[in-house]
Copies of this chain bind each other. A is one copy, B any other.
Amino acid sequence: MTVLALRRDEPTSSEMLAGSVGTNAAVIRRILSMLAKHGLVRSRLGAGGGALLARTADEITLAEVYRAVETGELICTHRCEPSSKCVVGARILDVLEPIRQRAESAMFTQLEQVRLSMVSTAVLEEADQPATAPAPELNTA
C-alpha cells in the first residue's frame, strides 16, 4: 500500500510489488483482491496495468487496511467449547466477550488515527536521513 501511495497514479504490477515485499506475485494478487473488495484498491487490466489506490493515501487509515486483510478475531478466546456443566465454563465466554471487544476497539482507535499518507511520508523522510535515524515519530500521538 505504501508503494502504491508513493507511485500515485502510476499503476504498479503485482510482479513489482512482489519484488518489494519479497514474495510471489500470486500472493500479492490475493491480498490485493481483498483490499479491492473493501474499496481500498482498484486495478487496471491489460498491458501497462497494475494496482492503484482507490482513494488518496490521506483518506485511508491503517484500521481499514487491517480490517480488509485480517480475517479472524484479534484476540481469540476459546478454541474449544468449554463444558456447559461447569458454572464457570457455562458463563465465561459471555463474561469475556465484552472485555475482548473493549480491548480490540481500543486498538482500532489507535489504528484509525494513522493514515497511509503518514506512513508513506515517514518512509521518505527516513530515506532522507541515512543511517542515524532511530525512531521515526509519526506525529499522531
| Chain A interface residue count, Cβ-Cβ cutoff 8 angstroms | 54
A30-38, A40-48, A49-57, A98-106 - the one binding chain B: A98-106
Q: A96-B119, A110-B102 are in contact. Are A88 and B135 (CB under 8 A)?
A: no
Question: A111 on the interface (CB 8 Å rule)?
Answer: yes
Is A103 in contact with B98, judged by CB distance below 8 angstroms?
no
Copies of this chain present in the complex amount to 2
Contacts of A141 in B (CB 8 A): 85, 102
Q: A20-B89, A103-B110 are in contact. Are A95 and B83 (CB under 8 A)?
A: no
Majority-rule SS of A interface residues: helix
Q: A91-B123, A103-B107, A103-B110 are in contact. Are A19 and B96 (CB under 8 A)?
A: no
Which of A85, A87, A90, A139 has the most chain B CB atoms closer than 10 A to its own CB?
A87
Contacts of A92 in B (CB 8 A): 2, 119, 123
Contacts of A21 in B (CB 8 A): 78, 80, 82-83, 89
Question: A71 on the interface (CB 8 Å rule)?
Answer: no
Is B88 in contact with A126, judged by CB distance below 8 angstroms?
no
